Amino acid sequence: MERSVFEVVKAPLGWSVFADNVKIGGVYDSRGAALEAAVLAASDTVTDGGGVQINVPGAEEEKPRWAIAFEIAASILPTRSGRVRSGSR
């Protein structure tokens, strides 16, 4: 049996869990709650004799990439009045 990969990822409104690139479960309030859901799902795979890998991002990776890109774009694009924005709000 192959190894299943479980990913805990930051979602716009919380945290999500993916198993082999397929979203499982709902949206969780915290990274820890999503990890618990991933472990529970992974336990079924282990019971069936398969291997698992669970990936959880560190604190520096909590912000979704789209939010980082938006902040960068907002800081370098001029405002409607022609003034340049100074950093994030």
Average pLDDT of the segment spanning 3-15: 92
Q: Would you say residue 55 lies in a domain?
A: yes
Q: Provide the token pair at 86.
A: 């100074």
Burial class (CB in 10 A: 0-12, 13-18, 19+), 28: buried
In a domain, 30, yes or no: yes
Count of domains forming the chain = 1
Strands 51-55 and 22-28: unpaired
In a domain, 7, yes or no: yes
User: Is residue 84 domain-resident?
Assistant: no
- For residues 14 and 27, the answer to whether their CB atoms sit within 8 Å is yes
Rounded to an integer, the average pLDDT of 71-82 is 77
Asked if the structure places residue 85 within a domain, the reply is: no
Q: How confident is the model at residue 12 (pLDDT cuts 50, 70, 90)?
A: confident
pLDDT of residue 84: 54
Domain interval for residue 32 = 3-76
Place of tokens 């709650």: 33
More confident residue, 86 or 57: 57
pLDDT band at 19 (very low <50, low <70, confident <90, very high): very high
pTM of the model: 0.66
Q: What is the pLDDT of residue 86?
A: 58
Domain contains 29: yes
Tokens representing 18 are 């993916």
Within a domain: 83: no
Give the residue-averaged pLDDT of 73-85.
71
